[in-house]
Every structure is written in structure tokens, then in C-alpha cells.
């Protein structure tokens, strides 16, 4: 049974068959492995810890709560009252693992000869063997868990159980007991096939289970991206049995025997590949595969690009993201990789398996779920906040053409996708969202995208965007400012200038009691419905905050550089001057209107309409 499990696991890693069906099959195979006797398990615990069960634990369950190929887990309690999970390794396991890896290595050698593969497939058996041998030492798994917990502690929606080091040894691992729902159970409860078939669950319970499952998957995708793009430390076996959804809405990870550590070069290449798939840049995707050490040296990259374009060219974009399942994209890329004898580094296989397994779980609950929709907004945020040279290079490839000319349409598209991110889970993301205020309230709205750009420009997190504008060709930047696509940008600037003019006019007219913009907004909305009032105040507040843009010296430097470059094109400068004049005239008209309204309100307030009191004497 153990041999079958190892061969099945290797087949998954080797051929990237990481869909839900295969993971489900492996989970079922694990569940069918019979447990070994409790007496043997207790004896191993006593031998490893060097003390009796009674002196170490106050309680250990009679039967294991989980049994797998390498060990089984008991629920217990420590002497100081903590609930723990105690994993005990199967006896006499090492020689079985070594034997199975040897058999697998011979089998892969035969496959290599029959398939006439150039790369040595036995490398995968060696990599798998290293991982499995490492899993036999629970002290390494404890170290993995501690490292994973420390690396992901800044992200509050990720839960990693605590390791009890004094109760862990080479064949015994004691960790905090995790209370949470298994995604398989949530999937079973939320399954539509149960409706109308005598289900013990009500429709409300099924809907709640589906909601929790989709929230778990969404956080699972985000946690995978954090592991992939932020920490570089990946949980290499995120099947449903190793995941839990806690009562506080966190995703909990279990079993840290298999971990994957990524190099920075591979992290940024993976980030770039997601961007290039979404933008349909197949030549860029081929370069990414080369950076990932997937494409072999000497491969005809032009032919690979043409084949990828044929395989993925029919992918349609819906609201800026590919209308296709991640697993299908993976299958098409994999077919091209097989044709050109690409190698598949172990980390690459594990990353793709992780994302594909989460997508399979989500699709089982919601057929309309798309991994790219969940992943790409995170990618946008990463590129807009990470000021590293590698991230800037990727962002430049998206927003600039080969002549470094700024393309407003591409940036607007990029940000429209970014503001879809209504809830940012990570602590870094939360800071990013705070700097944007309410910019994400209107998804896909041009007003909100412009709002997002202007807020970013003057915020602490806007350093990447400011550098981007400084790098752009100045003339193309001015061309973007006067283009039709930038009309909302000019309207927002006009409203900001109007706010400054109003302040200046009020002081010039010596209106000592001139009400502020926010106070006038409160008066203007006093008769509105609370929903309309909130919407008006959000938009008004966002405009009012923009007056800081006019005084920002960093933005003045960017504008000066752009105008210096555009001076060589008289027609472009004429368009800019005309657009600037219209912005000023519009702002002046708005400011005059507000001063007039304020003056009328002051006059009306000074006139008393109270009835006069008259006294009569008799």
C-alpha cells in the first residue's frame, strides 16, 4: 500500500496532474491505509520522549484521529491543559521508503528511454526521495513549521499551529490542536446534489457552508500568492486534508513535512508570467519560463512563442482577466513544454499543483470561480507597492511600449483590475488600502480609477508610481494628459484647483466665517437619504483631499520634466496649454459658484424671519 502511495505521489509531481480529482484520489488512498496498533504507538512515544505516557500527557485518545502513509495522529492534552495533536511515525519505515524510491527510479529510467526524453526523469525520483527521507525526521518538520509560522505571522488570516518542542523528537511531533472545518466537509454540506434528496442540512446551512468554503478558497489562493511572491516559503502539500477553516475565518495549515523554498529570481519570474498571461504577451511568457529554468538552453524560443500563441490565443478577457480556468492554461502550457522537452523544476511543479488544487476545490463549490480573478488583483498590488528593480521592470513592460512611451489605457486597465480588491488580507495590503481611502468603492468606474491614481501619487505607497512617471518619455506623458482617456483625470484636477481657488477667494473677501468645503458638504446633504449622503460625502472628501497634490513638489518635478521633453513638439504643447486653460476656467467657475453660495447662505442666516412681538395695553 505504501508503494502505491509513493508512486501515485510521484506521478502527480512529475506530470503536473494536480487537479481536484487526483488530489481527492490521493486523499482517499491515504484514508484507506490501516492504522498500526496503539501499543506500538505509545511505545514509540515513550522511547522518543524518554518518559512514561502518564508523566507526559494527561490524556491521549484511544484511536488515532487520522492515519496516513508515514504516521498517525492522536488527540491529547498536556499536563498544563493544552489540547495537542500527537503525530507518531510508523515503525520500520525507512527501508520501505528507500526501496520504493529505488523501484520508482528504475521505472522512470524505462519511461525516459521509451519516450526518448532528453532530460533525465530519474532526477524527479531523487528529489522526491530527498523530500520523503526528510519527512521521516519530525525534528525537520518541526523546524519547517516554526519557520513557516514566523514567515507568515504578519498575515493575520493565515493560521499556523504552535509546535511543542519539548514534546517533539525524530519520530514524535506534538503541535497545537487546530479546531476548524475540513474543506471536504464544507464541500459535502454545500453540494447541490444533496438538495431534495433527504439531506439533513437545510438550504440555509448549505448556503452558509458554500460561503465559508469560497472564503477559504479565496484566502487559500491569496496565501499561495503570499508564499510565492512575498515569503518564498511554500507549503508543498496543500491538499484538503492539510487545510482547515477556523471559526474566526482564518485558513489553517497542517503537516509541514514537505516545504518548498524559492529563489528571488524564480519568484519574480512567476509574478511576471501571471502578468504576461493576462496581457497576452506570449514572448514575455517564454522569457519568464527561461528565467524559471524551465525552458532548456538552445530551445528555439521563437517557435515556442508561436506555439503558445496558437494554444492560448483564443483566451478571451472578461473585465480584464482571462475567461479560462487556471488548470486549462496549465494544460496548454504543459503540452507545449512536452513538445520542446522542457524540464520541470520541483518548485515549479509544487507551485502549480498548489494553485490548481485550490482552483479544483473552488470549482467544485462554484463552477464560475476563476483563479485569475482572485490572483491578479494581488499581482497588481504587489507591482504598485514593491519598489525593487525586478518589480519595476515588470511594471514598465506593462505600462510602457518599447520606446518607453507612457500608455494611459494600459495603466487604467491595470488599476481597474486592482480596485476590484475590496478586502486586502495582508498587513501590507491593509496599509496600501488605507492610503487609498475609499478608492475601491466603485469597481471599474473611471472616477474611482482616477481617484486611485491621484491618491497614490501623493501617498507614501505611491513611490513606485512616481518613479514610473519619472522614467516615462515626457512627451508621451503629456500626450496621455491631453488624451480622451484622461478626461476624468482632468476633471479631478479641476475640482482640486477649484478647492484652492475657493479658499483664496474666501480669504480675499475677508469672509472670516466662511464655511469649509466639508461643512458645506454636510449642509448640502442634510436632506438626502443616508445612502446618497454617504456616496456624496465620499466623493467630495476624496476631491477635497487632492489640494495637497497642487503643493506636492515631487509631482511638480515630474510635470516639469514632462513639459521639458514636450517643448520640442509645438502642437502637443498647444494642446496641453488649451487643456490646462479649460481646467483652470472650469475650476474658476466652480470656485465662484461656491463663493456665491456661501455668501447667500451668510446673508440668509443674518436675516431674521421671526414674527415681531407687539404689546397692547387696555
Please give the positions annotated as active site. 237
Are 132 and 6 contacting, i.e. CB atoms less than 8 angstroms apart? yes
* CA–CA separation, 563 and 273 (whole Å): 35
DSSP for 518-539 reads HHHHHHHTTTS-HHHHHHHHHH
Distance CA 602, CA 508 (A): 16
Which segments of 402-527 does DSSP mark as H helices, in order?
408-418, 427-436, 446-458, 463-471, 474-481, 487-508, 517-524
Do residues 65 and 75 make contact, with C-beta atoms less than 8 angstroms apart?
Answer: yes
Using DSSP, state whether 142 is helix, strand or coil: helix
Cα angle 450, 218, 360; round to 5: 130
- Tell me the pairing of strands 259-261 and 233-235: antiparallel
* Nearest C-alpha neighbor of 151 from the set 262, 263, 252, 227: 227
Q: What is the DSSP string of 151-218?
A: HTTT-TTEE-PPB-GGG--SSEEEEEPP--B-HHHHHHHH-GGGTTTT-SS-HHHHHHHHHHHHHHHH
Cβ atoms of 119 and 341 within 8 Å: the answer is: yes
Which residues 6+ apart lie within 8 Å of 578 measured at CB? none
Would you tell me how many other CB atoms lie within 10 Å of the CB of residue 9?
Answer: 20
Query: What is the C-alpha to C-alpha distance for residues 125 and 595, in angstroms, rounded to an integer?
Result: 78
Say if residues 229 and 166 touch (Cβ distance below 8 Å). Answer: no
Residue 463 near residue 387 (C-beta atoms within 8 A)? yes
Which one, of 79, 48, 42, lies nearest residue 61 by Cα? 42
- Could you write out the DSSP letters of every residue in 579-612? HHHHHHHHHHHHHHHHHHHHHHHHHHHHS--PPP
Ramachandran region, residue 604 (left: φ > 0; alpha: ψ -120 to 50; beta: rest):
alpha
Q: Which residues of 167-182 are buried (b: 16+ CB within 10 A; e: fewer)?
A: bbbebbbbbbbbebbe
**CB environment 489-518: b (16+ within 10 A), e (fewer):** bbbbbbbbbbbebbbebbeeeeeeebbebe
Which runs of consecutive H residues, i.e. helices, occur in 33-121? 38-49, 53-56, 94-115
Q: How many CA atoms lie less than 13 Å away from 207 in the CB half-sphere?
A: 3
Amino acid at each position: 500500500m505504501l508503494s502505491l502511495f509513493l508512486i501515485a505521489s510521484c506521478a502527480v509531481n512529475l506530470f503536473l496532474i494536480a487537479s481536484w480529482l487526483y488530489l481527492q484520489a490521493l486523499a482517499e488512498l491515504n484514508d484507506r491505509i490501516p492504522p498500526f496498533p496503539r501499543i506500538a504507538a505509545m511505545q514509540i512515544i515513550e522511547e522518543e520522549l524518554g518518559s512514561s505516557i502518564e508523566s507526559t500527557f494527561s490524556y491521549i485518545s484511544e484511536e488515532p484521529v487520522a492515519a496516513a502513509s508515514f504516521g498517525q495522529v492522536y488527540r491529547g492534552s498536556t499536563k498544563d491543559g493544552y489540547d495537542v495533536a500527537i503525530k507518531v511515525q510508523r515503525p520500520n519505515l525507512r527501508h520501505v521508503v528507500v526501496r520504493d524510491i529505488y523501484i520508482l527510479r528504475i521505472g522512470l529510467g524505462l519511461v525516459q528511454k521509451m519516450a526518448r526524453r532528453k532530460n533525465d526523469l530519474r532526477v524527479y525520483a531523487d528529489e522526491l526521495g530527498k523530500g520523503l527521507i526528510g519527512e521521516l525526521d519530525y525534528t525537520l518538520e518541526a523546524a519547517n513549521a516554526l519557520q513557516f509560522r514566523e514567515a507568515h505571522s504578519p498575515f493575520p488570516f493565515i493560521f499556523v499551529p504552535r509546535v511543542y518542542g519539548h514534546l517533539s523528537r525524530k519520530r514524535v511531533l506534538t503541535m497545537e490542536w487546530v479546531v476548524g472545518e475540513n474543506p471536504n466537509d464544507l464541500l459535502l454540506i454545500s453540494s447541490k446534489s444533496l438538495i431534495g434528496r433527504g439531506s439533513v442540512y437545510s438550504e440555509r446551512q448549505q448556503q452558509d457552508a458554500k460561503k465559508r468554503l469560497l472564503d477559504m478558497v479565496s484566502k487559500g489562493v491569496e496565501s499561495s500568492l503570499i508564499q510565492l511572491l512575498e515569503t518564498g516559503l511554500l507549503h508543498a502539500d496543500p491538499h484538503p486534508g492539510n487545510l482547515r477553516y477556523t471559526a474566526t475565518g482564518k485558513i489553517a495549515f497542517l503537516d509541514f513535512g514537505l516545504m518548498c523554498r524559492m529563489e528571488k529570481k524564480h519568484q519574480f519570474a512567476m509574478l511576471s508570467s501571471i502578468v504576461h498571461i493576462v496581457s497576452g504577451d506570449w514572448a514575455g511568457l517564454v522569457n519568464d519560463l527561461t528565467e524559471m529554468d524551465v525552458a532548456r538552453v538552445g530551445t528555439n524560443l521563437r517557435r515556442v512563442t508561436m506555439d503558445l500563441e496558437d494554444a492560448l490565443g483564443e483566451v478571451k478577457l472578461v473585465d480584464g482577466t482571462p475567461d479560462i480556468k487556471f488548470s486549462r492554461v496549465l494544460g496548454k502550457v504543459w503540452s507545449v513544454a512536452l513538445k520542446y522537452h522542457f524540464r520541470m523544476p520541483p518548485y515549479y511543479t509544487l507551485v502549480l499543483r498548489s494553485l490548481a488544487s485550490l482552483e479544483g476545490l473552488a470549482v467544485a463549490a462554484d463552477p464560475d470561480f476563476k483563479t485569475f480573478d482572485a490572483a491578479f488583483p494581488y499581482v497588481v498590488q504587489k507591482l504598485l507597492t514593491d519598489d525593487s528593480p525586478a518589480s519595476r521592470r515588470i511594471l514598465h513592460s506593462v505600462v510602457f511600449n518599447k520606446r518607453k512611451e507612457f500608455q494611459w489605457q494600459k495603466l487604467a486597465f491595470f488599476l481597474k483590475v486592482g480596485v476590484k480588491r475590496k478586502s486586502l488580507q495582508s498587513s501590507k495590503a491593509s496599509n496600501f488600502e488605507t492610503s487609498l481611502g475609499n478608492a475601491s468603492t466603485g469597481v471599474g468606474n473611471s472616477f474611482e480609477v482616477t481617484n486611485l491614481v491621484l491618491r497614490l501619487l501623493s501617498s507614501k505607497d505611491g513611490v513606485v508610481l512616481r518613479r514610473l512617471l519619472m522614467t516615462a518619455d515626457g512627451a508621451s506623458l503629456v500626450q496621455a494628459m491631453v488624451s480622451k482617456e484622461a478626461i476624468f483625470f482632468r476633471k479631478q484636477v479641476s475640482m482640486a484647483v477649484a478647492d484652492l481657488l475657493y479658499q483664496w477667494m474666501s480669504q480675499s473677501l475677508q469672509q472670516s466665517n466662511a464655511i469649509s468645503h466639508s461643512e458645506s458638504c454636510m449642509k448640502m446633504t442634510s436632506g438626502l437619504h443616508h445612502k446618497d449622503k454617504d456616496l456624496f460625502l465620499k466623493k467630495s472628501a476624496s476631491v477635497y483631499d487632492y489640494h495637497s497634490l497642487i503643493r506636492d513638489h515631487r509631482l511638480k518635478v515630474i510635470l516639469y520634466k514632462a513639459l521639458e521633453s514636450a517643448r520640442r513638439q509645438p502642437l502637443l504643447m498647444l494642446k496641453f496649454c488649451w487643456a490646462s486653460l479649460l481646467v483652470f476656467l472650469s475650476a474658476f467657475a466652480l470656485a465662484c459658484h461656491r463663493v456665491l453660495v456661501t455668501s447667500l447662505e451668510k446673508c440668509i442666516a443674518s436675516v431674521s424671519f421671526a414674527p415681531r412681538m407687539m404689546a397692547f395695553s387696555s
